[in-house]
Chain A
Amino acid sequence: MADQNNTDDKGKFYSEILSPSELFAARSRSHKIPVRGQKDFFPDDSDEQKRRLEQSLNEHWSLLSEERVERLGNLVKGEWIPSEQIVELQSPAGKFWQTMGFSANGKQCLLPEEALYLMECGNLQVFYQDLPLSIQDGYEKFLSANTVSLQQYQVFGHLKRLGYVVLRFDPSSESSSYARQLNLPQSRDRAGRTLKRKRSLSPTPSSTPTATCSRAEAQEECSTEKMEEDKCNEGEEDKKLPEAQSSADEGGGRSWWMTDVLGDSDKDSGHGSKSVSSCWDFSSISFPDLGSTSREHFPGGLAPPDPSLLPGDLKVGFCDVGAWRQKINLRQVKMSASEQKKEKYRRRWDVNKNREVRRCRNWAEYQELMARRKGKREGRPAHLWNREVTPLHDPTQPIATGELLEKISVTKPTHLLEGASRLKDADDWRICFNVYQPDTVADFKKSNPGKPYSRMCVCSFDDPVPDLRAIKLLAYQSGDIPVVIAVVDYGDISFYTFKDFQLPTDVYP
């Protein structure tokens, strides 16, 4: 503190102890903070404006140049130990001990940033080699690459002055990734969801195909099979069986059946999953229509089948179907006149008479023909549907909006922590501090601070913005505490958060 009594120009000696008059002057200093006046938007070169500006500036300068006066007795004394980069307290700590400092070797110690902060507050006087350090010394000595950088200190100071409790972040004290993994929510996997929607087909027993399969059931399974046709192997017999059966009702001689399926239906042996079909010529193999009303088909019974069609050594003799035919119901169905007419036309209409149908060589081609016709009829244009890539949804099918949205979701959402564990640590993005809310100061225990309110990561305004990789790294390091990035622009600090988000699906009726 300048000694005003000493007006000697040479050899100015600044004593730190104040004379009584100086002390009184300091005590009675006005505590008013210069008020910010109204903004002028452009210089109008008037004297009035100049005067105002000068006055304002002078006030600011005088405020800055004020030296602070403290009672020596109030200052806690500490000693700077560069080898350990901490400040050891020589006198007992004051109120700040509640949230700052730590104990080591029976002594109370402070971290360098805490010490510098307290020095600036006027609570602490640090000695080094028996000389008190000035604030400038403090900045020079306490802030370095080993401790905290200047920018990190600025953030520290800013938050402390607002009342937050700021502690250093220790990455090793966080729970391991495995432990955290146990608490993670299930990753949303689209594949899992589609798997759930697949209906499991009940396997039809291959031994009793005709009797048990009703037509309705077959149709249902046909439609589910259409969904899964791409996913199943072609050679799986059980699923194809009902499909084949639905067309088996109308007698034999169809040339466009799935040749490999029917070839296996007689045999009980393990069906091959080969897709190469054995070429059965069904035009030459006759399948008896036991339900036919005409009597000429079965003079006495069934002749034994061609031995080449039978497996192995099986020998089949003559089959008397008389008893069977007595059991089946061959009575005419009672129908009204209109129904009879309809029935007549229905029996006359034969899908085989259509030329296009005859051109189809197998079931697959017939299905294609049907699809083409349907497309033409219902406005599903070929240029969209008959190419390699088809639309995700058929607009002719009615569907609820919610289901439609699920149907067209092809991109997968992801969250920040996914894949974060395999990222290697980067030097540039590190969490520095844990920040605790100011209202918890009363109950704050240094030994057990609890979960922080947020974690700070400090960077400069000229640094690049964190990319996705950096955000993921920070999120991974932090766990479930939000990370705030403090951007320092020569003393001006802005805080930004980058938070994980999943947009909720919005379906309104």
Chain B
Amino acid sequence: MHADFRAPRRRLRVTEELEAPLPLSPRERSHFRAELLNEHVLVCDPEHSQKIHDQGYFGKGVLSRSRPEHGISDQWEQHDGVFLPVVSQARYEELLKWAGSALSAQGWDEEAVHQALLRLSQPIQMDDVRNQMGGGEEAEENGERGEKNLEQEGGVIPQKKRSRRGSEVETEAKRSCSSDQDSDSSSDCSPDSDPDPAPLVPGPGFLLVVSDSEAGGGVREVRRTPFFLSEYLQLSLEEAFFLVYSLGCLSVYLHQKPLSILQLWRTFRSLRPDFVSSYAAYHHFRSKGWVPKGGGGTKYGVDLMLYRKGPPFYHASYSVVIERADDAFRASPLRPFSWRSLAALSRITANVSKELMLCYVIYPADLSEAELDSPVCLSRLKVQEVIVSRWVSSRERAEQDDI
């Protein structure tokens, strides 16, 4: 007996528009690049992350809720014709302290750190700002330059949150650092990848510091931003593999060397033992045109949440639990259920107006280990979807609903 398909519920306030269902643009021929670091797949280039996220809703910014949109400040003001982010004095001092500790962590002695910070916190003239911005063409600039009150060298225009990429700001002190290439994703002082310590880096590099004394009429001073803040897009293993294998638009690099599809498959399998099942399910849902998101699953106790078009448009329609089954359909459950846990999960899912779906990945009996070592084995797997729902005996009396 088949379950009925219920149409997804649209969100009340939809502020975005869908760019494209998948990050493919044959005309531009863009090929994306990601790094495999510490068992995570990260996309560092802001343009790539923007495209990958907004066309298909892959991945999540490491410092943000969904797309990478973390900036040095949420407030922006216009100051002498240039938009700058605004931070309070206390916050600015905190940022300076972080920059200092990052420098000392790199082995600088206290005096040198102190000097560097002093240099850093010099007040800046607006002309310097303009010169620097005019020289540097930042990658963040959108085509939305048609903003009336902005000059030609205008900085980033923060009309909506989404138009701001992770603002990349350079450490002034970085110029003297022969910094190592430790690119841990969430460290503040991660240097960017260009080798020459050019003074100009994409991004304004300046901010407005408001002294704490008065709330509204604080004196605003322009200062350099103490450190480089760049945010990466993190892709789950399934998303990364999908982009590489199914669409061919991403390459994953490990230690600066690109991985072939087979190598990537084997690496991911070694990182996660049930990667084949979770990837098979992910691939199945993507090839139906739905957007499966993994991170949201931990909020609801399941593996995947299925969205139509993407999270900003519709509420998730299904919570998916992935199970594997062999040829005789006996499950070797990745997560064994008891009636108690199933009842709990069913209740939670119903409370958030979603439907609980069990997705069984069925492995044929003659699938050898060697075959499993290549993504070609996916074509031999079958996927069975089962919807679990609770039937209320007393309610059904009144309505003539189908079960």
Contact = CB atoms under 8 A, between A and B. Distances in A.
**Same complex origin of A and B:** yes
Interface of A: 158-159, 162-164, 378-381, 383-385, 387-399, 401, 404-406, 408-416, 419, 423, 437-439, 453-454, 461-465, 467-469, 471-472, 475, 478, 480-484, 487, 489, 493-508
A505 B385 CA distance: 14
B338 interface: yes
Interface of B: 1-3, 5, 18, 21-22, 24, 26-27, 29-31, 244-249, 251, 258-262, 265, 280, 283-290, 306, 308-309, 318, 323, 325, 328-331, 333, 337-340, 342-343, 346, 357-358, 360-362, 374-376, 378-379, 381-394, 396-397, 400, 402-403
Contacts of B2: 499-502
B342 A499 contact: no
Contact of A469 (B287, B330, B376): B330
Contacts of B261: 384, 387, 389-391
Given A408-B247, A480-B1, A487-B339, 6 more contacts: A395-B248, A408-B286, A501-B385, A501-B387, A504-B5, A506-B290
29 contacts: A162-B393, A378-B29, A380-B248, A384-B261, A387-B262, A389-B265, A393-B246, A396-B26, A399-B24, A404-B24, A406-B287, A411-B381, A412-B379, A413-B384, A413-B385, A414-B382, A437-B400, A467-B325, A483-B1, A489-B339, A495-B391, A496-B342, A497-B391, A498-B358, A499-B386, A501-B5, A501-B357, A503-B385, A507-B21
Contacts of A383: 251, 258-260
B331 A468 contact: yes
Given A384-B251, A394-B248, A405-B288, A499 B3 contact: yes
A499 B1 contact: yes
Contact of B394 (A162, A391, A415): A162
B336 to A, nearest CB: 8
A404 B56 CA distance: 14
B263 to A, nearest CB: 9
Contact of B283 (A387, A408, A453, A493): A408
Contacts of B374: 388-389
Given A467-B333, A480-B1, A508-B21, A389 B375 contact: yes
Contact of A395 (B249, B357, B386): B249
Given A414-B383, A438-B397, A478 B1 contact: yes
A41 B297 CA distance: 32
B344 to A, nearest CB: 12
Given A464-B338, A505-B288, A414 B393 contact: no
Nearest to A484: B391
Given A414-B383, A454-B403, A392 B251 contact: no
Contacts of A467: 325, 329-331, 333
B90 to A, nearest CB: 43
Nearest to B317: A503
Nearest to B2: A500
Nearest to A409: B287
A478 B403 CA distance: 15
A381 B251 contact: yes
Contact of B260 (A163, A387, A464, A500): A387
Contacts of A384: 244, 248, 251, 258, 260-261
Given A395-B24, A461-B339, A411 B258 contact: no
Contacts of A404: 22, 24
B246 A408 contact: yes
Contacts of A423: 328-329
Contacts of A482: 1, 402-403
A505 B289 contact: yes
A453 B403 contact: yes
A87 to B, nearest CB: 26
B394 A503 contact: no
B240 to A, nearest CB: 13
Contact of A468 (B29, B384, B391): B384
A207 to B, nearest CB: 41
A410 B289 CA distance: 14
Nearest to B389: A497
Contacts of B384: 413-416, 468, 500
B287 A405 contact: yes
A469 B3 CA distance: 18
A29 B200 CA distance: 93
A388 B263 CA distance: 11
Contact of B379 (A410, A475, A501): A410
Contacts of B375: 389
Nearest to A500: B2
Contact of A503 (B288, B330, B361, B392): B288
A412 B393 contact: no
A191 B2 CA distance: 24
Return the 4 tightest CB-CB contacts between A and B, nearest first: A391-B248, A499-B3, A482-B1, A506-B289
Nearest to B376: A389
Nearest to A455: B1
Given A465-B339, A469-B328, A496 B397 contact: no
B1 A481 contact: yes
Given A384-B260, A392-B248, A411-B280, A405 B391 contact: no
A273 B286 CA distance: 42
Contacts of B290: 503, 506
Q: Which of B289, B333, B397, B400 has the most CB of A within 10 A?
A: B289
Contacts of A164: 393, 397
B3 A463 contact: no
B374 to A, nearest CB: 6
Contact of B29 (A379, A408, A495): A379
A92 B199 CA distance: 103
B245 A471 contact: no
A472 B289 CA distance: 27
A461 B360 contact: no
Given A414-B383, A500-B2, A408 B262 contact: no
Contact of B393 (A159, A396, A506): A159
Given A412-B382, A414-B383, A494 B249 contact: no
A461 B328 CA distance: 25
Contacts of A484: 391, 403
Contacts of B258: 381, 383-384
B288 A504 contact: yes
B284 A496 contact: no
A390 B71 CA distance: 38
B388 A461 contact: no
B393 A158 contact: yes
Contacts of B343: 487, 494, 496
A392 B260 contact: no
A478 B1 CA distance: 9
B284 A500 contact: no
Contacts of A162: 393-394, 397
Contacts of A410: 283, 287, 378-379
A384 to B, nearest CB: 6
B391 to A, nearest CB: 4
Contact of B245 (A392, A416, A496): A392
Nearest to B3: A499
Given A461-B339, A461-B340, A483-B1, A389 B244 contact: no
B267 to A, nearest CB: 14
Nearest to A422: B328
A225 to B, nearest CB: 22
Q: Which of A393, A453, A483 has the most CB of B within 10 A?
A: A393
Contacts of A385: 248
B22 A497 contact: no
A410 B249 CA distance: 18
A457 to B, nearest CB: 12
A397 B26 contact: yes
Contacts of A393: 24, 246-248
Given A395-B247, A415-B384, A469-B328, A475 B1 contact: yes
Contact of B329 (A468, A493, A508): A468
